[in-house]
Amino acid sequence: MAKLTFREDLCKGCGMCVAACPKKILAISKTKLNHKGHAPVELTDPNACVGCASCALMCPDCVITVER
Amino acid sequence: MSKKVLMKGNEAIAEAAIRCGCRHYFGYPITPQTEIAAYMSKRMPKIGGTFLQAESEIAAINMVYGAASAGRRAMTSSSSPGISLKAEGMSYLAGADLPALIVNVQRGGPGLGGIQPSQSDYFFMTRGPGHGDFHIIVLAPATVQEMADMTSLAFELGEKYRMPAMLLADGTMGQMMEPVSLPEETVDPESIPATKPWATTGTGMKRPHNIVNSLYLKPDELEKTNYERFERYAKLEREECRWEEYLMDDAEICVVSVGITARVSKNAIVAARKEGIKVGMIRPITLYPFPKAPLAAAAKKVKSFLTVELNMGQMNEDVKLAIGCSKSVAMCNRVGGMIPGADEVLAAIKKEAK
Amino acid sequence: MAVVFQKPKALTDAVLHYCPGCTHGIVHRLVAEAIDELGIEGRTIGIAPVGCSVMAYDYFKCDMIEASHGRAPAVATGVKRSLPDSVVFTYQGDGDLASIGLCETVSTACRGENVTIIFINNAIYGMTGGQMAPTSLIGQVTQTSPYGRDPKTQGMPIRICELLATLDAPAYIERVAVNSVPHVRQAKTAILNAFKTQVEGKGFSLVEVVSTCPTNWGLDPVAACKFVEEKMIPFYPLGNFRNRA
């Protein structure tokens, strides 16, 4: 059981969290843009998240907070 | 007042710095000022201070920048070619509004030049010690006693106006030996950083962080810092000019000179007076801020000015500016390490008297 | 539920200006985590370089000093000699540390100054638009090596960890990378070790972090991480080169 919180306003859509996620449940949004014009990351399957924090470790902008 | 000690000018600076609370010296050997480094290397370890022979003059000025950021009275010393290397560092010190002492014991130039005395860094130090719009306080000693006295003055003025300060000596001042009275130690070095709330001493988790910096990418911000800095310079110019007048009351010729040439000029003036020539001298003690007011006042009374300098004509221009080119400003000069004798200066005075 | 990962306290709320995927953000975080874990924020003074991370002084909560290009180790020396109980770190790129500042880097290491240097090696000059760095690889195309770095005219890349390891004085030298999760974990350990080395008064520490520059490499951030793995690490092997901690 794990919970991710995203600071969408800080996300630059770099995709490193997407590549790092072992469960492949992160994806860059195809519909949203944040106020800076970046397409932020989205959690596609919250229930599948195990809270490994791989995404947060690879994020250069401290977008993701992980609780477990 | 302590007893008089016979000291070399270079060493007098070092000892005076220690007596006014400087415990951080970063330098590099270069003739004719290496005695400062050598003296510090012996004294500093004995009193728990830092002597560090840096890898270059560039490294040394940057070590001073770090120590000054940390709130310490820090200094470096060099001679003309090494001072060129410090130009960027001096600009950074000024841009970050940091007090620090830089000593320049000038030698003949340009380039590697010679090791004999000169005053040829005058423009460099008073006009542009580095890139950008800024000044450093420039003090010009003419005796070993002044080498000592101006050291503590440099630290005090630098801290009062938050800017770097320089002791601009010619090579003779560094090398000559004269009796000097040094003050007792009155400043506790550990008390100095606390007087600087802007210093990077560690937040102690008790205050927001301090940033020592000269980078302002927004042009309106950078403009503001420049204007604020020049307001401080204007105050410095109003309140901190220092000079010495010698036999100026009835003078018809005004000699303007600093350092060794001021001493030689005094002898020439004595000889000229014996021949009935009414000549006096205004000796700037601060080269920045330049003593424009006494020169402008003298211009109303004298017939001409004569600068005596060890360069190709530098302070000469500042005298012309100070008097609005209202009178002629002749020059008696030698370069390359040559120093005019009193007879040469006397001949120049006589030429003006005609 | 407990928080297992959050932004460290030693980072300010300022939004990082770095390009998307730039690994500066990861390394800033690792440095801040080390500062948090050792409880040293109140006595830490960081020194920012000239380069993309010039504004690092806005990102760390400790006192910060902006240094001139290449001279951060000299500034660090001045600070540490002034405040021996402080923790002093520099954060420098490859131009700053290995080109203009090479003398200060080697001399500070040679003196064994008790400071910590974080060296960001991304084989390019980022801030000025992608020129060749001392650490650019043979054949690497940059703005000032448009035909690829040619060893005959442009020399060979420099390996800083190996160079400094020839000196007697340094206490901790390690090369890490931040292009993958396992590498980020190892980088965190190394950076923490480096700060511990300083806190324990053991001497000079340096961590070289093989990093990415997606913008000037012309690669997307994930491809840039692959470039680190496949091209950079073979030339800049990861590992510890000195450990007296």
Residue B111 lies inside a defined structural domain of this protein: yes
Q: How far apart are CA A29 and CA B285, in angstroms?
A: 70
Q: Choose the final residue of a domain: B130, B162, B195.
A: B195
The set of residues, in sequence order, having a beta carbon less than 8 Å from that of B338 and lying 6+ positions away, is B116, B310
Q: How confident is the model at residue A1 (pLDDT cuts 50, 70, 90)?
A: confident
pLDDT of res. B21: 97
Q: Do chains A and B touch (3 or more CB pairs under 8 A)?
A: no
Best C79, C85, C89, C114 member to test B by mutation, with max B CBs in 10 Å, is: C79
Same domain, B253 and B186: no
Within chain B, residue ranges assigned H as helices are: 9-19, 34-46, 57-69, 80-85, 87-95, 122-127, 144-161, 171-175, 219-239, 259-274, 292-299, 315-322, 342-353
Same domain, B152 and B294: no
Number of domains in chain B: 2
Same domain, B297 and B176: no
Tell me if C222 and A19 make a contact (CB, 8 A cut-off). yes
Element of type H or E holding B137? strand B137-139
Residue B224 lies inside a defined structural domain of this protein: no
Q: How far apart are CA B277 and CA C229, in angstroms?
A: 85
The values of phi and psi at residue C62, to 5°, are: -75, 170
Rounded percentage of chain B residues whose pLDDT exceeds 70 = 99
pLDDT of res. B2: 65
Same domain, B248 and B319: yes
pLDDT of res. C245: 72
Number of domains in chain A: 1
Residues of B in contact with C83 (CB under 8 A): 70, 201-202
How close does chain A come to C87, measured CA to CA in Å?
Answer: 24
Residue of C nearest to B64 (CA): C78
Residue with tokens 């000032």: C144
Same domain, B186 and B261: no
How close does chain B come to C190, measured CA to CA in Å?
Answer: 24
pLDDT above 60: residue B67? yes
User: Domain with A23 in it: what CATH number?
Assistant: 3.30.70.20
| Architecture of the domain defined by C24-243 | 3-Layer(aba) Sandwich (3.40)
Compare CB distances from B67 to C61, C78, C104 and report the shortest one's residue. Answer: C78
Residue of B nearest to C70 (CA): B59
Same domain, B31 and B144: yes
How close does chain C come to A58, measured CA to CA in Å?
Answer: 6
Q: Which domain holds residue B297?
A: 244-353
Best A8, A62, A66 member to test C by mutation, with max C CBs in 10 Å, is: A62
- Please tell me whether residue C176 adopts helix, strand or coil conformation: strand
Q: How many CB pairs under 8 A join A and C?
A: 75
pLDDT digits (tens, 9 = 90+) for A10-37: 999 999 999 999 999 999 999 999 999 9
Backbone conformation region of residue C124, classed left if phi is above 0, alpha if psi is from -120 to 50, else beta: beta
The predicted model scores a pTM of 0.95
Residue B205 lies inside a defined structural domain of this protein: no
The values of phi and psi at residue B315, to 5°, are: -65, -25
Residue ranges of chain C with per-residue pLDDT less than 70: none
The values of phi and psi at residue B81, to 5°, are: -65, -35
Residue B250 lies inside a defined structural domain of this protein: yes
Q: How far apart are CA B191 and CA B208, in angstroms?
A: 21
Compare CB distances from C24 to A51, A60, A66 and report the shortest one's residue. Answer: A60
pLDDT digits (tens, 9 = 90+) for C180-228: 999 999 999 999 999 999 999 999 999 999 999 999 999 999 999 999 9
The set of residues, in sequence order, having a beta carbon less than 8 Å from that of B226 and lying 6+ positions away, is B133
pLDDT of res. B177: 98
Mean pLDDT of chain B: 97
Same domain, B113 and B15: yes
Q: Which domain holds residue A63?
A: 3-67
Q: Choose the final residue of a domain: B195, B223, B254.
A: B195
Same domain, B34 and B127: yes
